[in-house]
Amino acid sequence: MAVDPELLELLVCPTCKADLELLALPAATCAMLVDRYRDKFRDEVPEVHEGLRCTSCRKTYPIVSDIPVMLIDEALPAEG
Ligand SMILES: [Zn+2]
């Protein structure tokens, strides 16, 4: 299952309201996020493979078990 493309069309960066692009996250980042969200998923291990990167500020919002986490505090910082 993947995130609904129509939902992705509607989502914008909560910081700057710019468009987002879907990207695959590195394995190490996925592992770190699975650890971070494990406590919030009591009955299952969360799955993290992709994120949504802002085309403007480059923050990346993780997609956890097909749910985009659009929280500024939980965004991954821009690379580089
Ligand atoms: Zn942004």
Tens of pLDDT, residue by residue over 17-31, are: 999 999 999 999 999
Check residue 64 and give its pLDDT: 96
Kindly report the pTM of this predicted structure: 0.89
62 CA to middle of ligand 1, Å? 13
Angstrom distance (rounded) from CA 61 to CA 69: 6
Residue scoring higher pLDDT (21 or 2): 21
Q: How far is the CA of 17 from the centre of ligand 1 (A)?
A: 6
pLDDT at 80: 56
Q: What's the CA-to-centroid distance between 42 and ligand 1, angstroms?
A: 31
Which tens digit of pLDDT belongs to each residue from 44-68? Answer: 999 999 999 999 999 999 999 999 9
Distance 44 CA to ligand 1 centre (A): 30
CA distance 49 to 25: 6
Q: Residue 53 C-alpha to ligand 1 middle, in angstroms?
A: 8
